[in-house]
Structure 1
Amino acid sequence: MSKASVSAADRKAYIVTGPTSGIGRLAAIELAKHGMVILVGRNLRKLDEVASVIQQKKQLAISIACDLSDVQSVRRAAAEIIALNLPIAGLLNNAGIMQMRSTTNALGWDTTFATNHLGPFALTEALLPHLPDSARVIFVASGVEDPKRTPAKAAGFRGGRFISVIASTRGEWQPGGSSNPGFDAYATSKQCILAATMALARENPRLRINAIEPGFTPNTGLGRDANAAFRLVANYILPLLAPFIRYWSTPKRASRLEAKVLTNQSGQTGIYYDERGESMLGSTLVQDRGFQDRVVAETRALLSSV
């Protein structure tokens, strides 16, 4: 769909990051029932494929290329979205990665931390002044940030290992973490974005800013760089068990939850929803307002230097 024709639309618009696979793809298709969907992701060809699926149903979608690990790319994407001049009803920060081995972006920052925390934060901050009152923002968090959460410990996580935002960009974490490469980066990035959710909700009472723990959903693109054996089990065996195990979910269930919370008219804000759509608490550290404010302040300071 051309941007010229989009600008004339008077329907609600929903922004979805990471919409080309897994939960994000299903959520985008579900949200298209409620209004136009702005698809934000790295691969324009894949974005257009999802847009085509939506458009075949006589619904509206537009693609905007953006690499969330690259702050400048995020800023360009935000400028494109703002230029569309659409009534944005919701922003779903769904995109995320969990690398088995650490990599860095063009700035030398840890890619997991940049993609899961810095990118969504930067995109949201850029769009906040342009969101109408009562617009909804969702960040996808994860219970693995909590070192006391039983299923996370069983999977080998040891919670967020936050030292500082700068240290996180360097791939430096508190000692005593996971023996699995990449787990500390993932848990810390999710801890930071969850803390930021709570701080942003307090700072912006005119908006509805919440977080979701989608549940353990093994057959998503999250662990796409895992070995073939793990992907085989994750894609074809574990999903059969998900409906019967607490804390587990499926992409279909998780996507419906994301769409439900993003279109919820209740006015709730500062809520952390579990995989069943019920309120839950993050780690003790995340509940600390001082920590929430520190994460936001350090993140803003870092991003302003780029």
Structure 2
Amino acid sequence: MNWEWSDIYSHQLWMVSTAILAIIVRALRKVPWNPRACPVELKGKTAIITGANTGIGKFIALDFARRGARVILACRSEARGTAALQEIRDISGNQNVHLRLLDTSSLESVRKFAARILEEEKELHILVNNAGASGLPSKITADGLEITFATNHIGPFLLTSLLLDLLKKSAPARIVNVSSMNHWKGEVDFSHFRGDNLSNVMDAAYNHTKLHNVIWTNELARRLQGTGVTANSLHPGVVMTDVMRNYNFIIRFLFNLVGFFFFKTAEEGAFSPIYCAISEETEGITGKYFDSDCSLVLPAPPARDPALGVKEYEFCERLTAKP
């Protein structure tokens, strides 16, 4: 992906501004919900966390393991997934933690993963769609999808759709979709899914996918009314993770420099997803968007448009239908 220096400057200005805002907000905000103070146990529950080998996903998985859940790490890399698996087992003392390979950018991989889950698991109580990427060089996947859209949105959409019956059977159950405050900068253009009319501006594709995450979640929640399965989306915060691994050295250096002083740790970034997934306060709440302090906030206007939600869902169903 070719970026103009003006794009890079704009991106860095955005990061610095976000950091300054974070300082102000941290000084004024209430003390956020902390999972360490939450007594909820998950013994007898099964949870899947995508992208669980690193960052936020690994801390979500560790928290669930400590609570006694059967935890399935859905990871693209077998080597990194195996390392995370062993670490989580060692720290939590829970041996009922398992690795299953999943690449959300590939519909074939998603279908294979879901088929194995449906064959092996009798219940599924929590699905956390955490896996995602930013800064990917634009390319078209074997499924004819732009890779950021495939990884961040279509893969999670298909995975969730394939596991819905199991979630309903296991109700009460929760679906948690990790989005971003950057969804406010996103736009809805369904030609983007095929890689058409996409801007070269840094993070544009990522921002668009994060908006689609919230739109889809809200329509999904509407369709699940009365089933005992809830669906919510959230912003985990500006977090120090390896999400910037696809950027050049300068961008990564500046991100890490600013982040070292001002951004949340990956463990802190896991607080909001964990809150949505297990807390008693969010029981029965569905079709909502939470910020990084575990507070209910309004998402961007397109995510509040029911007609657009229907269009979004039906479009993604067509894209993921088997030929």
- Deviation larger for 252-261 or 204-213: 252-261
Q: Which residue does 2:267 correspond to in 1? A: 252
Over residues 161-187 of structure 1, what are the superposed CA-to-partner deviations in whole Å (9 max), with x where a residue is unaligned?
3221xx12222247xx6x624x22111
Identity of aligned residues (%): 28
| One-letter amino acid matched to 1:162 | V
- The count of aligned residue pairs is 272
Aligned-partner Cα distance in 2 for 1:250–1:127 = 31
Question: 4+ residue stretches of structure 1 with deviation over 4 A?
Answer: none
Q: Which residue does 1:133 correspond to in 2? A: 171
Aligned-partner Cα distance in 2 for 1:263–1:202 = 20
| TM-score (norm: length of structure 1) | 0.84
Aligned-partner Cα distance in 2 for 1:106–1:284 = 33
How is 1:120-269 mapped onto 2 (pairs within 5 angstroms)?
Answer: 120-131=156-167, 132-146=170-184, 159-164=185-190, 167-173=191-197, 180-181=201-202, 183-205=203-225, 206-217=228-239, 219-242=240-263, 249-265=264-280, 266-269=283-286
SS in 2 for 1:76: helix
| One-letter amino acid matched to 1:264 | S
* Residue pair 1:100, 1:223 contacting (<8 A) in 2 also: no
Shift, 1:281, TM fit:
1.3
| One-letter amino acid matched to 1:269 | T
SS in 2 for 1:298: helix
* Residue pair 2:291, 2:297 contacting (<8 A) in 1 also: yes
Q: Which residue does 2:85 correspond to in 1? A: 51
Shift, 1:137, TM fit:
0.5
Over residues 96-122 of structure 1, what are the superposed CA-to-partner deviations in whole Å (9 max), with x where a residue is unaligned?
001253122223321100011100000
| TM-score (norm: length of structure 2) | 0.80
Shift, 1:236, TM fit:
4.5
Question: CA 1:204/1:258 → structure 2, altered by over 3 Å: closer, same or farther?
Answer: same
Among 21, 30, 35, which residue is 2:54 paired with?
21
1:99 aligns with 2:132: no
| One-letter amino acid matched to 2:255 | A
Aligned-partner Cα distance in 2 for 1:78–1:305 = 14
Shift, 1:188, TM fit:
1.2
Question: CA 1:211/1:97 → structure 2, altered by over 3 Å: closer, same or farther?
Answer: same
* Residue pair 1:161, 1:173 contacting (<8 A) in 2 also: no
SS in 1 for 2:164: helix
* Residue pair 1:16, 1:92 contacting (<8 A) in 2 also: yes
Among 305, 313, 318, which residue is 1:288 paired with?
305
Over residues 38-77 of structure 1, what are the superposed CA-to-partner deviations in whole Å (9 max), with x where a residue is unaligned?
0001111211111111222321211111110101110110
Aligned-partner Cα distance in 2 for 1:241–1:169 = 34
1:87 aligns with 2:107: no
Shift, 1:24, TM fit:
1.0
